Structure 1
Amino acid sequence: MMWIWLLPGSSLLSVLFFVFLNKQLKKKKPSFKIDEKDNLPSKKEFAFTFLNLGVFILVGALMDYAQTKGLLKIESIHTAAELNWWFLIVSIFVCLGIHDIYFYVTHRILHMPVIFQKVHSIHHRSTNPNPWTAFSFHPIEGVIQIGIVSILAFILPIPEISLIIFTLFMSLLSVYGHCGYELRAEKWKGFEVFNTALHHQQHHQFVRYNFGIYLSIWDKLFGTFSPTYNKSLKELIAKNKEA
């Protein structure tokens, strides 16, 4: 009985971590704020977040049940000697790669007019997101978002610890994208392909751009990369240097 606690637990801890971090940044690094207006969470964001934590509990319970029946492909590793460290690292990147494609595709589907109106619009009520926005969405979207963990568990014969690390990383990056502060404005040239909090903040602002989660290649490939992103990033970097 692990996933029933891990799925909601990693999500809630990620939110609380960035709530704490935002308070520190507000005091010490206010220039990191993407939108200078306040982005305090609403009562509905709290409500939908906790509703989806319940959804994550249900999905986790189903994963635990499937694991007891031997239906999951993931393999439990009991000692360090049993673990192939190279395979561990590669399998984590495989999970991230699959999720990156999955997120972009499902995100585009969620923006189809009827689905957007009935489901995804709840998440887009915030145009200036905060950590509580990350999991504030319709329960159907909650199943879609957390569903990648169970999909990977059913199809990939990887160490269980790989999926645990992926789940924790996914939760943190999901909240980072909504935190409202840009922590990685100045990146090494080779790392420009990785998305920033600004990238997802612009998605909440403009709606029809920036659908990716980890990499910008899908947005650039399919013409959904925000035309104002690079200019906004340069302005943010300049603001940080002046502060």
Structure 2
Amino acid sequence: MDDTLYGKRNKRGDWAPFKLIQYPPVFIWPVQPLRFLKWLFGYPGYLMPWNVLYAVIGTLLWLYATPSLETAKTFSIGWIAYLLIRNAAIVLVFFGAFHLRLYMQKKQGTSFKFNAKWPSVGNDAFLFGNQTVDNVIWTFASAVPIWTAFEVLTLWAFANGIIPYVSFAEHPVYCVVVMFFIPTFRDLHFYLVHRLIHWPPLYHAVHKLHHNNVNPGPWSGLAMHPIEHLLYFSGVLIHWIVPSNPVHAIFHLAHAGLAPAPGHAGFDKIVVGEESAIDTHSYDHYLHHKYFECNYADGVIPLDKWFGTFHDGSPEAQERMDKRFMEQARRRAEKKARGEQQAS
């Protein structure tokens, strides 16, 4: 599959798509019902391929790979350890599949790869100087245990009637609607958390660890500081307030735990045939890793557009960002100068 038909390379070999990033036809006026329905049910769209995949995984986990609520009524090492191992195995298989195909086997070389370079080696910013090793360590030492801790607490709370439970059998329409809106809520939650951890004190203490991955790969997705993991997975606490079913919480956590793999793949498309490929929808987040102060959210709600941090990949968007950086630098310089004058 020829990537030059879909984008162009610069002198460094970095690839960028011709098509600019666009928000889906949701928050627009006048409304466009046909475009909306095509995006909602079409491919690629809101449901397909990724959200349906995560929903199926979450549902299968609840039905066949989760202890019963009766078991979850009491904390015990057995079922908690089981969930920890289960989640680690899911991450190993899912993230590992992306890394194996794209970065170890290099099945498509640098075709559709945003940054022509491969994961960093000999870089002091990473544990043991190795980007992939660093990312894997943070994923399994922090992300998976914190994901599991939220899941354990939520199942225990459901089992003991601490949080409101809704049955699919009794309220199928309501439960499907909640399932449907979980990815949208995740987008809103992620934006709020993301803006918070870009506050300079938190950025340098916490979020910088994730942003060391200027050239992200699949394992970069969950390579975060433990405090960031606590904030990131805390979105599942919405189900402690909104009447839900345990499958909603498990889907929510599976979505949060697995979506960062394609979102940080580093490739615009995963080629699966001579004329076919799967879109990763990762270019907007790649631009965030490249430029830091843009594209804080990834989904349906045009929050970045509303708050002036949207980068669609165009030269015009880059020019606006450069002007904003220069204005911020000017203000910092003036503030520093005033401080020095007061001190003297």
TM-score range, shorter chain: 0.7 to 0.9
1:130 is matched with 217
Amino acid at match of 1:170: A
1:163 aligns with 2:254: no
1:187 is matched with none
2:112 is matched with 32
- The runs of 5 or more residues in structure 1 that have no matched partner are 185-193, 233-243
Of residues 157-166 and 89-98 in structure 1, the stretch that sits farther from structure 2 once superposed is 157-166
- How far 1:203 moved relative to its partner? 0.7
Whether the 8 Å contact between 2:151 and 2:249 is mirrored in structure 1 is no
Q: Which among 87, 98, 123 is matched to residue 174 of structure 2?
A: 87
- How far 1:161 moved relative to its partner? 2.4
* Structure 1 pair 32–205 and aligned structure 2 pair: CA distance change class (3 A): same
Cα distance in 1 between the residues matched to 2:250 and 2:167:
11
- How far 1:68 moved relative to its partner? 2.8
Tell me the secondary structure at the aligned position of residue 156 of structure 1: coil
TM superposition score normalised by structure 1: 0.76
CA-based RMSD: 3.0
Cα distance in 1 between the residues matched to 2:112 and 2:226:
32
1:59-70 alignment, distance < 5 Å? 59-70=150-161
Tell me the secondary structure at the aligned position of residue 92 of structure 1: helix
Higher RCO (CA 8 Å, separation ≥ 6 residues): 1
- How far 1:221 moved relative to its partner? 0.8
- How far 1:51 moved relative to its partner? 1.8
- How far 1:195 moved relative to its partner? 9.0
- How far 1:208 moved relative to its partner? 0.7
1:43 is matched with 133
* Identical-residue share of aligned pairs (%): 25
- How far 1:156 moved relative to its partner? 2.0
Q: Which among 303, 308, 316 is matched to residue 218 of structure 1?
A: 303
Whether the 8 Å contact between 1:76 and 1:160 is mirrored in structure 2 is no
Whether the 8 Å contact between 1:8 and 1:56 is mirrored in structure 2 is no
Cα distance in 2 between the residues matched to 1:28 and 1:49:
25
Whether the 8 Å contact between 1:10 and 1:167 is mirrored in structure 2 is no
Q: Which among 248, 252, 258 is matched to residue 172 of structure 1?
A: 258
Whether the 8 Å contact between 1:130 and 1:179 is mirrored in structure 2 is yes
- How far 1:139 moved relative to its partner? 0.4
Of residues 98-107 and 47-56 in structure 1, the stretch that sits farther from structure 2 once superposed is 47-56
- How far 1:132 moved relative to its partner? 1.0
The alignment of Structure 1 onto Structure 2 pairs a total of residues equal to: 217
Cα distance in 2 between the residues matched to 1:63 and 1:216:
27
Cα distance in 1 between the residues matched to 2:191 and 2:185:
10
* Structure 1 pair 43–23 and aligned structure 2 pair: CA distance change class (3 A): closer
* Structure 1 pair 172–49 and aligned structure 2 pair: CA distance change class (3 A): closer
* Structure 1 pair 89–8 and aligned structure 2 pair: CA distance change class (3 A): farther
- The runs of 5 or more residues in structure 2 that have no matched partner are 1-65, 73-79, 121-130, 271-278, 317-344
1:75-117 deviations in whole A, cap 9, x for unaligned?
A: 465xxxx275543432122222222111101100000000001
Whether the 8 Å contact between 1:14 and 1:172 is mirrored in structure 2 is yes
Higher helix share: 1
Cα distance in 1 between the residues matched to 2:112 and 2:280:
16
1:1-243 alignment, distance < 5 Å? 2=67, 4=80, 5=83, 10-23=90-103, 26-28=106-108, 30-39=110-119, 41-52=131-142, 53-75=144-166, 82=169, 85-149=172-236, 151-183=237-269, 196-215=281-300, 217-226=302-311, 229-230=313-314
2:62 is matched with none
Whether the 8 Å contact between 1:25 and 1:32 is mirrored in structure 2 is no
Cα distance in 2 between the residues matched to 1:216 and 1:39:
31
